Structure 1
Amino acid sequence: MAKLIIKSFEELEALIGKEIGKSEYHSITQEQINQFADATHDHQWIHTDPERAKAESPFGNTIAHGYLTVSMLAYLWEQMVEVQNIKLQVNYGIESLKFNQPVVVNSKIRLVAKVDEVKDLRGVTKAVIGVVLEIEGNKKPAFEGKIIFLYHFIRN
C-alpha cells in the first residue's frame, strides 16, 4: 500500500472532507494484550485470563484493552500517511472518542481516516483527523473519534 505524502499546509488543506486511506490490518494477539497489561498495570481477567474469559466473558474470549486499541493510532496512521517538510509533529489531542465494540483477541483491526479540519495557527498547522478503527468482519467499529496533530511545516 502506497503512503499518502503530504509536504505542506496547502496539500493538507486540499484534503479536507476526503478519506485519506485505510491502514493494513493488524492482528491483536494475546501476547500484545499481556504486554500492554504489564505496561499499564491493568491485569483485569477479561484481558489476561483466556480460560476464565472463555468460561465467564460474554465475548467468549479475552478482549484488548480499549486504550490498547487507541495506542495503535500512531502505528496505523504511519502506515497511511507520511508528512514531510516538517520540523516537528505533536500529538495534540483526541476528541469525541467513543468505544463501540470490544476487540476480541486475534481480531484484525485497521484504521480509516479522513481530514475533517485544517487550520493555520500563526504558522503552526492544526489538523483534525476523523478516525474509525474497523474490526475485520464486523459492521460496528471498535471506536470512532477525532485525533488532532500539530505540524510545524518548514516554510520556504
Structure 2
Amino acid sequence: MRRFASVDEFAAAKGEHLGYSPWRTVEQKQIDLFAEATDDRQWIHVDPERAAAEGPFGSTIAHGFLTLSLVSALVPEIFQIDGLSMAVNVGLNRVRFPAPVRVDSRIRGGAELVDIKNSPAGRLATVKVKVEVEGERRAACVAETLTLFVS
C-alpha cells in the first residue's frame, strides 16, 4: 500500500499509477448476498447449474454493480492519505464493465490519480480504478471515481 503524508503529497502524484490492492476471491455467497440486497436475482448470477449449462461463461458471474461496489473496499488497500478528517464518495464520471467476473475468480484493483482540484470543502480527486481479473486480458470494471478529501 502506498501512503501519503498529506493531501498535498497525494496531489503531487497526479498522473501516476498509485499501485494495486491484494487479490481477493469473489465467491458465490457474496454474489448471492448482493442479489438479495439489490433484488437482482437473474439466473446468470444465482443459479450455478443453469449458468453452467446455458450461460455463455460456463459459471455464474458477479453483478457488474457488485464489482463496482468493491471499488470502495479495494481503494483503501491501494493508498492511504494521512491527516484527513474524512473522505467522501462524491460519485463517478464514467463506468464500464468490459469483462465478466466469474464465480471464484480472483480480482484486484489498480488506481491512477487522474486529477485533483481545490474545492470549497476540500480537495476533489478523480481516481481511475481498474478492477482486474487474474488471468484475464481485459479489466472487469473501469471507473473514474470522485472523492472529496477533507483535511
Deviation for aligned residue 1:122: 3.0
Root-mean-square deviation over aligned CA pairs? 1.0
SS of equivalent residue, structure 2 residue 73: helix
1:20-44, CA deviations, whole angstroms, 9 ceiling, x for partnerless residues? 0100111000011011111111111
Deviation for aligned residue 1:123: 5.2
Corresponding residue number in structure 2 for 1:19: 17
1:100-150, CA deviations, whole angstroms, 9 ceiling, x for partnerless residues? 011110111110101000111135100100111111000111011210100
Corresponding residue number in structure 2 for 1:57: 55
Corresponding residue number in structure 1 for 2:70: 72
Deviation for aligned residue 1:83: 1.9
Contact 1:12 1:118 in 2 (8 A): no
Corresponding residue number in structure 2 for 1:152: 150
State how far apart, in whole Å, the 1-side matches of 2:143 and 2:69 are. 13
TM-score normalized by the length of structure 1? 0.93
State how far apart, in whole Å, the 1-side matches of 2:138 and 2:91 are. 24
SS of equivalent residue, structure 1 residue 86: coil
State how far apart, in whole Å, the 1-side matches of 2:89 and 2:114 are. 16
> Kindly, what percent of the aligned residue pairs are identical?
37
Corresponding residue number in structure 2 for 1:10: 8
The answer to whether structure 1 residue 48 and structure 2 residue 46 are counterparts is: yes
Corresponding residue number in structure 1 for 2:136: 138
* TM-aligned CA distance change 1:123 to 1:35, over 3 Å: closer
SS of equivalent residue, structure 1 residue 39: helix
Deviation for aligned residue 1:86: 1.3
Pairing partner for 1:119 from 113, 117, 120: 117
Contact 1:91 1:148 in 2 (8 A): yes
Number of residue-to-residue matches in the alignment: 151
Supply the AA of the counterpart residue of 1:19.
Answer: H
* TM-aligned CA distance change 1:22 to 1:10, over 3 Å: same
TM-score normalized by the length of structure 2? 0.96
Structure 1: 4+ residue segments shifted above 4 A: none
Deviation for aligned residue 1:14: 0.7
State how far apart, in whole Å, the 2-side matches of 1:123 and 1:97 are. 25
Note the residue ranges of structure 2 that are not aligned, 5 or more in a row: none
Contact 1:118 1:126 in 2 (8 A): yes
